[in-house]
Amino acid sequence: MSRDTIPVTVLTGYLGAGKTTLLNRILTENHGQRYAVIVNEFGEIGIDNELVVGADEEVFEMNNGCICCTVRGDLIRILDGLMKRKGKFDAIIVETTGLADPAPVAQTFFVDQDVGQSASLDAIVTVADAKWLLDRLRDAPEAKNQIAFADVILLNKTDLVSREELREVEARIHAINPYAALHKTQNCQGVPVADLMNRGSFDLDRILKLEPHFLEEDDHDHDDEHDHGHEHHHDDHDHHAEGEYGQNHGLKAHGHGGAKHYHDEDMQSVSLVSERDLDPDKFMMWFQNLTQVDGPNLLRSKGILSFRGEADRFVVQGVHMLIDGKPQRPWADGEKRESRLVFIGRHLDEARLKTEFEACVAA
């Protein structure tokens, strides 16, 4: 890696695995580094940037689209803009949506000339959810690429699984990618930041074995141009890891130049906003019930809420039916008190969610 280039860490992992938890850890630890942070979200209203701590860092939002498709141009523009302010930060962290395939994001640092001259991909760090990863490897195409392309993997949420389950997930990860450094974590703790950042661990040769066309220039825009055929790639090499990686049968793939790229087209997001305060009891009862009943389809929910009579903003999080809620910080003077909630999942009934959310407004 050239000394003149800014190292970039791509933080990936499926919905709700713990990316923001890790990002917050990195930003709050005393390591003397200054980071510029780019956060990409699938929902149209930004929640993640509000959950990132550390007022010192500048956080650039990229909402309403997936970084590896429609908003990849935004990534290039933000990176170009950052490069004009070199010297103000030591490294860049890009947190992708849980639905992003990291391949085209990584590719940006090699095929875009301007970006490649000033920034270099240091590592792809993937946070994997010990509880849900095996399910997602079965039904979510992006999850497998996130593991396959990783240089470092945090197998997180070890508290939610038994030792046997953990061993099984670990074996599965190892079968897909035996090269990545694997750390087992709870709340992404315990791995020194120095093991994650500025390691120069991105290994282009390995990626070229996975994705022989990785360095080819894009030959069309980054619009959602999906090829509905079945892709069977990487069948031609013999290592067991890549052999397993190649079994993405029946998934919808589209290309960015050479890099094939998988996407779950059924995934949708619903964003809800209320300018009127919510009733905490009504909301929590609805949210609990919804996540229990619709949990299998509701992969991720998160919101920042204004509860009637409460001085603090309230943050709710859900990954399937596991939910969590806590006060965050007081609403600031002059800050607009509004509630924002995002659901990401399959077969979501937007009209119903909206009606039910509105019914939680305090009387």
Among residues 184 and 213, whose Cβ is nearest to ligand GTP?
Answer: 184
Q: Is 72 in the site for ligand GTP (CB under 6 A)?
A: no
Q: Are 203 and 178 in contact (CB under 8 A)?
A: no
For residue 186, the minimal CB distance to ligand GTP (Å) is 4
Q: What is the secondary structure of 24-46 as a DSSP string?
A: HHHHHS-----EEEEEE-SSSS-
Cα separations in angstroms, 281 against 179, 259, 287, 342, 353: 48, 48, 10, 19, 17
Among residues 43 and 255, whose Cβ is nearest to ligand GTP?
Answer: 43
- C-alpha–C-alpha distance, residues 189 and 15, integer Å: 19
- C-alpha–C-alpha distance, residues 13 and 17, integer Å: 6
Which of 6, 19, 27, 144 contacts ligand GTP by CB under 6 A? 19
Q: Is 324 in the site for ligand GTP (CB under 6 A)?
A: yes
Q: Is 44 in the site for ligand GTP (CB under 6 A)?
A: no
Which of 83, 160, 166, 273 contacts ligand GTP by CB under 6 A? 160
- C-alpha–C-alpha distance, residues 24 and 224, integer Å: 31
Q: Is 255 in the site for ligand GTP (CB under 6 A)?
A: no
Residue 218 CB burial class (10 angstroms; 0-12, 13-18, ≥19): middle
- C-alpha–C-alpha distance, residues 37 and 58, integer Å: 6
Write the binding mask 120 to 149 for ligand GTP: x where contact by CB under 6 A, - elsewhere. -------x----------------------
Q: Is 12 in the site for ligand GTP (CB under 6 A)?
A: no
For residue 29, the minimal CB distance to ligand GTP (Å) is 16
Residues of this chain that bind ligand GTP (CB under 6 A): 13, 15-21, 48, 98, 127, 156-157, 159-160, 186-187, 300, 302, 317, 319, 324
